[in-house]
Structure 1
């Protein structure tokens, strides 16, 4: 995680004394480096539009490929790869921005030559608290030039100061900035050198603007009294939030970050659920084709998530033990991750992302979308709850209780998401419905997790020839069966404690 602030400085700017800043015991000797960086992006600068930079840099102490993705006001998550070949973006880094590039090729768009003078600030114990870099920059826009003439492209020159935290605190970052401003520097309007160089050529992403507009309309209607919120406003604000989550967690899921696949999958499920639960508000002609594609993506993510949950569940049960069958499960999970990453490179996935962007940018609102949300949402949420109640009632009379429980769990998710969507408008009443539906979902989820675990243990036991391992599998099977049956028996009690909609 890179946390830094940038400041513009005149040619005659003198770097102030940096001693005495919070926690700083000493400043190191100034070091100077010559850096050459080539920046890569799509022809229409999609990465830069989202605040992402991808470069290949030579010189300094961190030569190589650098991918920087926004992570808060002053933060960026940085990922690196070795220098490799000059014009070929490492496949791993290219994959991490695929949700933004969507099949468009990455090519050089700018070069930056930087004479960097660095002063490091240290604590009394020798910890490096921050790095202050005084940069003299020469930048060239090379989007319209050949590689062999890039050096002849018109140049822009400027000076900037970067303060990047190491082990230092936000207080140090703030104090350093104050001292630089007092010496004549000004906080930079751009968060990156590339952004400063290409400036007006970088257009704000239409999809991001559309998502922000959807959410802003609902907030304005509720908080600022700019007319009553419509049901369409509420539905589109919720869909915008979930589409944003899919794109946000895409690179994190590819990296296998904790809970990222789960959160991306939940966002996909929420979109699917909303398109179903709020069907009267939306034009089916536009939304119906999205159903199979969202189901496909949920299944791709689900294969990874289900194996991940199983592995984590068994690891917790076994403590530090690592039997062969658990290693096999971990291999299955890694294979599922490879399949997921392959699927997330497919044109089918990029086409789905494009359609989700269009869903928000061009809302497929039907005639009922203009109704007042406070009057319309209670009925729509109640419908989803009643569907869950009917599914629950069918468990006791169904020929296959397992299928009935599964359908009830799906209906509980839909009721929960329908109520979540309505919460900004209906407040506490909708929040309570969402909470009750979630409790039903979690009880049934606990039962389902136990059943799946039992099936896996049964398969592993059939394969093993190790008596000790077979005994352990049997113990685990009994444990899972006990927990599954406890969850199943708890369902009726949990149901009796729910109140249902009371709008």
Structure 2
């Protein structure tokens, strides 16, 4: 195993009677074969918080010896049958040492300041059979496991047998065929989502917000929306830390949606109970925004240079290399912010609010009425801003500022309407669609405004060649034209 590696694990699990003979796996691949079985003794210590917070999110953390991948393993859901597994070798983080920094960072938003303690010891006698294709390439591994577990808190010892079929190079069609073959041989659907769940004697509690009742109240709707976005925040947190594609953008949007729920429905929750939370979410959005803006700027700069025939080297340095340095700096600041007590306290506050919401004066009002009131109010503010645009001369400073105000209010409509999605309100969907069009056009315009400001700063870079300055002027003109087209598209769609 590499000192540190992350893989996508796709597998299916089954309960079986001890000693149940495995079927002939070679039938899964025409022309393929099954390798000679290999036996291993695996010993793993599973860690979690005393309240099993990781298990609640279907996350498992273990340190394991034996087999071909001794080390620290963190497994997280990746959709469907897939799991993301982060592996850290003992050569980088010894088994008797603390949890590796890469793993601790990945689960910090869930664990926070709670201790990670051993919750179970699991020993596995494993027999592994590799399934090969006709060219001798590995497609899957079939594991026959005899498992012995001991749960620390309950002091309960259990023993069972199970089968696992994990893809190594095959596709989901092979997984489907294997599931049918193994079920036909006597295997049963797994009774637990993991060895740990079976060892500790209970399935992880459902962390996802429950579906809304048939006739929800405004409080039900707001709490459901907060819980949904809180879970989204926890999902994107580790991906932001590793700078996964689009993660910063999605976490920033999530922070804005959380704040929008509080500001769009101010009378559903007790005002005193949420005092300060909106400001903390705004601060989180700002630090995410700095990293996101750098990300967008880099993409725009790359696109502009790609449109040029042989752009000068010093301009590429100024627009790409220097911007990349600034982006990396903003990402370091963001990772630091996500590791502070202030951020973790924000998550604690959200959890407490969702678990024990203090009702406001409109808490018992019907959810549909609450949602539509918020959406209509936001839409009215957007339309009012659109009408006021006619009070200013086109492309004057005041007119441009009003265009930006319209964009922000369109965003508020979208986020407010998002909270009403579970209710299936047609008027809400219509308002969201209208606001989305406005936001798209004016968002493009805002990008050009920001980018032109950046181009003006680049012009002032000492020692820039005359040709680079000339190209910058051409890029600025191109961005100005793109911005005007975006605004015109907005104006053409005004009612």
Q: Structure 2-normalised TM-score?
A: 0.88
Displacement of 1:6 in angstroms is: 1.6
1:112–1:139 contact (8 Å) kept in structure 2 = yes
Structure 1 CA distance, aligned partners of 2:262 and 2:31? 55
- Give per-residue Cα distances to partners, 1:338-383, cap 9 Å, x unaligned: 1111111111111111221222222343222323344454333221
Structure 1 CA distance, aligned partners of 2:341 and 2:31? 52
* Aligned positions of 1:102-141 closer than 5 A: 102-141=112-151
Aligned to 1:30: 37
Aligned to 1:148: none
Which of 312, 316, 320 is 2:303 aligned to? 316
Structure 1 residues 155 and 240: CA distance shift in structure 2, 3 A: closer
Aligned to 2:483: 484
Counterpart check, 1:297 vs 2:297: no
2:389–2:402 contact (8 Å) kept in structure 1 = yes
2:15–2:187 contact (8 Å) kept in structure 1 = yes
Counterpart check, 1:50 vs 2:60: no
Which of 355, 359, 365 is 1:365 aligned to? 359
1:419–1:433 contact (8 Å) kept in structure 2 = yes
Aligned to 1:475: 474
Structure 1 residues 30 and 430: CA distance shift in structure 2, 3 A: same
Aligned to 1:72: 79
Displacement of 1:310 in angstroms is: 0.8
Displacement of 1:328 in angstroms is: 1.2
Which of 426, 442, 445 is 1:444 aligned to? 442
Aligned to 2:326: 332
Structure 1 CA distance, aligned partners of 2:30 and 2:244? 32
Secondary structure of the equivalent of 1:168? coil
- Give per-residue Cα distances to partners, 1:314-357, cap 9 Å, x unaligned: 11222397821211111111111111111111111111112212
2:265–2:370 contact (8 Å) kept in structure 1 = no
Secondary structure of the equivalent of 1:88? coil
Aligned to 1:413: 411
Aligned to 2:174: 172
Structure 2 CA distance, aligned partners of 1:423 and 1:138? 46
1:416–1:434 contact (8 Å) kept in structure 2 = yes
Structure 2 CA distance, aligned partners of 1:22 and 1:360? 50
Secondary structure of the equivalent of 1:495? coil
The answer for unaligned runs of 5 or more in structure 2 is: 1-7
Displacement of 1:445 in angstroms is: 0.9
Aligned to 2:432: 434
Counterpart check, 1:10 vs 2:51: no
RMSD, aligned CA? 2.4
Structure 2 CA distance, aligned partners of 1:232 and 1:155? 44
The answer for unaligned runs of 5 or more in structure 1 is: 145-152, 222-227, 497-503
Secondary structure of the equivalent of 2:406? helix
Counterpart check, 1:212 vs 2:221: no
Aligned to 2:350: 356
Structure having the higher helix fraction is: 1
Structure 1 CA distance, aligned partners of 2:298 and 2:411? 24
Counterpart check, 1:258 vs 2:258: no
Aligned to 1:500: none
Secondary structure of the equivalent of 2:205? coil
* Aligned positions of 1:63-102 closer than 5 A: 63-83=70-90, 84-86=93-95, 87-102=97-112
* Aligned positions of 1:232-251 closer than 5 A: 232-251=219-238
Aligned length in residues: 473
